Amino acid sequence: MGCSGVEQSLSQTIANRSQAIEQDPNRDRLKKLIVYACNRVWENHVSREIDLQPLIAQMLTQYPTLDTLQDHLYALVGTLNKTAEYMRLANALLGYLAPLYAHDQLAEAGGVAVDYEAVVQRLQQDPDALRIKKLVAYACGNPWQNDATALEPISLEQLVVQMRQIAPTPQALKMVLDSVVVTLNRAQVYAAIANRVIAAFMPLYGAPPAGSSSAPDATIEGHSDIHLSESASHSDVNGGAIAAAPSLTVSGLAKKLPRVQLSMVDLYDLRLEIIKYTCPLRAKVLLFSVLRHHTEWSTQDYAMLKTIDLSALIAEMFQTYKHLEYVCPLLQERAAQLTPASDYLQACSAILRAIAPWYDSVALATGHAMTDEQTVPDLHTHTHPEQTDVQFKHGGITTMKPGHPPLRNGSTQYESA
């Protein structure tokens, strides 16, 4: 194909992408984001009739690679007060524009065999395959779907390809997934799922597949934060308040959370300490009830417990709750609600006895004991009182400095039971 042929093909692709954006339910906000990216000035009132094609062409010139475009978009999003919402829109926009960078992507791949089928297969074999599809579809810019049948027409392979185009590096993938996970009401559940998605995607980045353990072990090392301007803040026409405080990105936030690393052997020892003194199924029911807010148990509900093993639930508990002072009343209250309460209180006591030394070791390592000013949150309203990032690896305990409780930005998507 000659030079004019390439230009013609590019202009056709731009026209095609422009049309796709016009059909998006969030086209007005996407247009605002495009105008912001091109002019570097936030416009609260962007004309609906604005022609996107010259703007997209300008973006291609300004940001010659998908990486640079992504970095720039994320940095801009960080200056907005609805960070999470616009992070999702930025991801959608990257999805729309990725085909324009397709040739660069191929060149960047540098001979890495891209086996989407293997990744799809691994994701489909996951016990949480449906939630994975929900999450990836949402991260690709599709609306959140509670109805599984609505997701059926969407090919998982297409989503994987799209996701890979949106996120050219593992760090970008983590950032994209993190950005959408915090908008979900079951954030801790989806955080674990996001880690498994990252692990499954590793071969697409030329890395060997990460372990499929449900314990989160897919943290990207050296993952770069987006540093945002503390002064820049903008009002959103859709009713958002002007952000007065410095914006924080999800990745920035995650870095500020305390981090504990336990070895796989430690985790198995901990599991053993629990099941030595109580029925493993009772322990699972209790932990699952606390972590997933599931209160009604019938014979059929036990099948649900087969989607996650006890060690993963223990890992998730450490990941979700930083202080024993939080875990203790939660477990005791839920145990008292389950039938028969006496058996669950016995299980509760075994769990607390086993985990207490680990929480103590974390508190000692961080020097972060609960102070008098900190109060135990209202158990009925605080689903995520404080989060701890626990990693299970071959190695000892590593605890990083204590951080802030998680902040929530943007709207929350509720998953139906």
Partner 1 sequence: MNLPNILSQYAQGHTDFAGLDLHQANLSGADLIGINFTRTNLQGAQFLFAFLNRANFTHSTLINANLSGANLSQAVLVRANLRDAELHGALLCGADLRSADLTLADLMDANLMDADLRNTNLSSANLTGACLRGANLREENRRYAANLTGATLWKADLRGANLAGANLAKVDLRDANLAEASLRGADLRGADLSGANLRGAFLTDANLTKAMLRKANLTHAKLERATLVEADLASAMLMGALLPDTKLTKAHLARANLAHAQLSRTDLSRATVRQAILTGANLTDAYLARTDFTEADLRDAGLVRAELSSANLLGACLAGATLPDGTVHS
Q: What is the C-alpha separation between 109 and 126, in angstroms, rounded?
A: 27
Q: Is 395 in the site for partner 1 (CB under 8 A)?
A: no
What are phi and psi for residue 194, nearest 5 degrees?
-60, -40
Q: Looking at beta carbons only, is 179 or 213 nearer to partner 1? A: 213
244-283 footprint of partner 1 as x/- string (CB under 8 A):
--------------------xx--x--xx--xx--xxxxx
Q: Which is nearer to partner 1, 183 or 319 (CB)?
A: 319
Among 149, 295, 299, 300, binds partner 1 (CB under 8 A): 299
Query: What span, in angstroms and rounded, lies between the C-alpha atoms of 203 and 87?
Result: 25
Whether 87 and 93 have beta carbons less than 8 Å apart is answered as: no
Q: Which is nearer to partner 1, 20 or 275 (CB)?
A: 275
Q: What is the spatial distance between Cα 13 and Cα 208, in angstroms, rounded to a whole number?
A: 34
Within residues 208-237, the interface with partner 1 by CB under 8 A covers: 208, 211-213
Cα dihedral angle (218, 166, 205, 124), rounded to 10 degrees?
A: 60
Out of 289, 311, 320, 387, the residue judged to bind partner 1 by CB under 8 A: 311
Q: Least Å distance between CB 129 and partner 1?
A: 16
The residue among 123 and 139 lying less far from partner 1, judged by its C-beta, is 123
Q: How far is the CB of 268 from partner 1 (least distance, A)?
A: 5
My answer on whether omega of the bond before 340 falls inside 30° of 0, hence cis, is: yes
Give min distance, CB of 190 to partner 1, in A: 21
Q: How far is the CB of 388 from partner 1 (least distance, A)?
A: 21
Residue in the block written with tokens 């914006």: 247
Q: Tell me if residue 184 falls in helix, strand or coil.
A: strand
180 binds partner 1 (CB under 8 A): no
The DSSP string of 243-283 is: P-SPP--HHHHHHHS-EEEE-HHHHHHHHHHHHTTS-HHHH
Determine the size of the site formed for partner 1 (CB under 8 A).
Answer: 27
Minimum CB distance to partner 1, residue 201 (Å): 18
State the nearest-atom distance from the C-beta of 220 to partner 1, in Å: 18
By CB under 8 A, is residue 298 in contact with partner 1? no
Closer of 23 and 300 to partner 1 (Cβ): 300
Question: Which of 17/282 has CB closer to partner 1?
Answer: 282
According to CB under 8 A, which one of 22, 115, 207, 302 is a site residue for partner 1?
Answer: 302
Asked if residue 212 lies in contact with residue 202, where contact means CB atoms within 8 angstroms, the answer is no
Least distance CB 257 / partner 1 (angstroms): 25
* Count of residues making up the chain: 417
Residue/partner pairs of 272-276 with CB below 8 Å, 24 or more apart? 273/353, 273/354, 274/310, 274/314, 274/350, 274/351, 274/354, 274/355, 275/310, 276/350
Nearer to partner 1, 48 or 276 (CB): 276
**Are the C-beta atoms of 231 and 195 separated by less than 8 Å?**
no
Scanning residues 322 to 361, which ones bind partner 1 (CB under 8 A)?
A: 340, 343
For partner 1, the closer CB: 235 or 263: 263
Q: How far is the CB of 50 from partner 1 (least distance, A)?
A: 53
SS3 399: strand
Q: How far apart, in whole angstroms, are the C-alpha atoms of residue 270 and residue 26?
A: 47
Contacts of 144 (CB under 8 A, 6+ apart): 134, 138, 184, 413
Strand partners, 275: none
- Residue ranges binding partner 1 (CB under 8 A): 208, 211-213, 264-265, 268, 271-272, 275-276, 279-284, 299, 302, 305-306, 309-311, 340, 343, 394
